[in-house]
Amino acid sequence: MTIFWTPRAGLVGLMLCTAALITALPSAQAETAAPPSCAVELVVLGAGQDAGAPQIGYAADPAWQDPQQRLTGSALALIETGTGHRYLFDASPHLGDQLARLDRLDPSPSPTPRPNLGLSGIFLTHAHIGHYAGLMWLGREAAGTAGIPVHAMPRLQRFLETNGPWDQLVRLGNIRLVALSDRTPMRPSPQFSVTPYRVPHRDEYSETVGFLIETPQKRALYLPDIDSWTDWARDFDTRLEDLLPDLDLAFLDATFFDDDELPGRDMSLIPHPRVSDTMDLLQALPASVRQRVQFIHYNHTNPIRWPESDATRQVYERGYKIARAGDRHCLFEGN
Ligand SMILES: [Zn+2]
Ligand SMILES: [Zn+2]
């Protein structure tokens, strides 16, 4: 098979820090303190499927009454503490709430709003609403940003350049599109790189990628949407079970827990690896490797959404973890 990336054999920090620094409390809204020495930190801003929860039309969802139960769309932020630079992975339609969370975790040193929302760049996985529609908040009607670099694959870049209202963001210079290339690292800073990896997904308007985020100490994979692990192996010669041992963190598509989740719908028509199947696929790996999985991008119907559910208990009993908004992971302790 194709080597996904070069294994980092022998790097001492790799195994030493993984367990100690990864926060994975199964709480809904944990906001914990960053390790004081952390130079590059990854923060979970949202862990829901595109539409989040409560989902439109589901009046009985308790999250309508209790904001603590809300789910925002899957997104991560990377904070480089020394420079103050902050980057987003995906621009969820819930970007306003997510940026407020980020600002609580990483407050501005000055009372005045940060220029450009304090964002030095945005990396987009694909053109489904939960992953790019948050760009709308950067335009004239809202923040009116100036030249925020938006990193996108070529089809996604063309889509944004040639379709309203996104083309206006480009024309007015609210965003500046930066081309990504499959499996080609880009290095926004000497402290980390970002490499897109194409994955099979419904690519109506754009390619779909996952991102490998690497520092000198850690590797994290952000892969919120994929049709199936089998298709990835068949079409892109890449096997999840081979990759995981070379990662420290893997944020993986957990849209549905199993096939019983949408009564009355033929779920075979809705591709996405089920959480139960992904756990089966990886179960033969050592516990120290399985615990690197952080399930993310769960649908409002997925019972892992609820920290006290039986499904959540199963995930932890089998040695995996569930990403929750507010989780913080140190990727580089610095020099
Ligand atoms: Zn999605
Ligand atoms: Zn999608």
- The single-letter code of the amino acid at 179 is A
**Residue tagged 């140190």 (tokens):** 330
Model confidence over 52-71: pLDDT tens digits?
999 999 999 999 999 999 99
Query: What is the tens place of the pLDDT at every residue in 251-273?
Result: 999 999 998 888 788 787 788 99
Give the per-residue pLDDT at 20.
Answer: 33
CATH of the domain at 170: 3.60.15.10
Q: What is the pLDDT of residue 261?
A: 87
Ligand 2 centroid, distance to 130 Cα (angstroms): 8
| C-alpha span between 189 and 334 (Å, rounded) | 13
Closest CA to 127 of 203, 178, 196: 203
Please check whether residue 182 lies inside any domain of the structure: yes
Domain membership of residue 225 as a residue range: 12-332
Give the ligand at the shortest distance from the Cα of 205.
Answer: 2
Please state the pTM of the whole predicted model.
0.91
- Residue 6, pLDDT > 70, answer no
Residue 11 contacts residue 298 (beta carbons within 8 Å): no
Residue 192 within any structural domain of the chain: yes
C-alpha of residue 29 to centroid of ligand 2, in Å: 24
| Closest ligand to residue 200's CA | 2
In a domain, 283, yes or no: yes
Is 91 contained in some domain? yes
328-332 β-sheet, strand order: 175-179, 148-152, 121-123, 85-89, 75-80, 40-46, 328-332
Query: What stretches of the chain show up as alpha helix (H) in DSSP?
Result: 12-21, 95-105, 129-132, 154-162, 166-171, 229-236, 240-243, 275-282, 287-290, 310-317
Confidence band of 22 (pLDDT split at 50, 70, 90): very low
Q: Note whether residue 4 is domain-resident.
A: no
Domain assignment of residue 268, yes or no: yes
Instruction: Output the six-digit token pair for 287.
Output: 């516990």
Please give the distance, rounded to the nearest whole angstrom, from the Cα atom of residue 256 to the centre of ligand 1: 12
- Residue entry with tokens 């591709």: 271
Domain count, the chain: 1
Of the ligands numbered here, which is closest to the C-alpha atom of 226?
Answer: 2
Residue given tokens 């960053």 in the structure block: 34
Average pLDDT over residues 293-309: 97
Segment 188-210, tens digit of pLDDT: 999 999 999 999 999 999 999 99
d(CA 230, CA 236): 10
Give the closest ligand to the alpha carbon of residue 130.
1
At 2, the pLDDT band (50, 70, 90 cuts) reads very low
In the reported structure, the alpha carbon of residue 126 is separated from the centroid of ligand 2 by a whole-number distance in angstroms of 7
Judge whether 2 lies within some domain.
Answer: no
- Given a contact cutoff of 8 angstroms between Cβ atoms, the answer to whether 155 and 161 are in contact is no
In a domain, 6, yes or no: no
pLDDT (0 to 100) of residue 204:
93
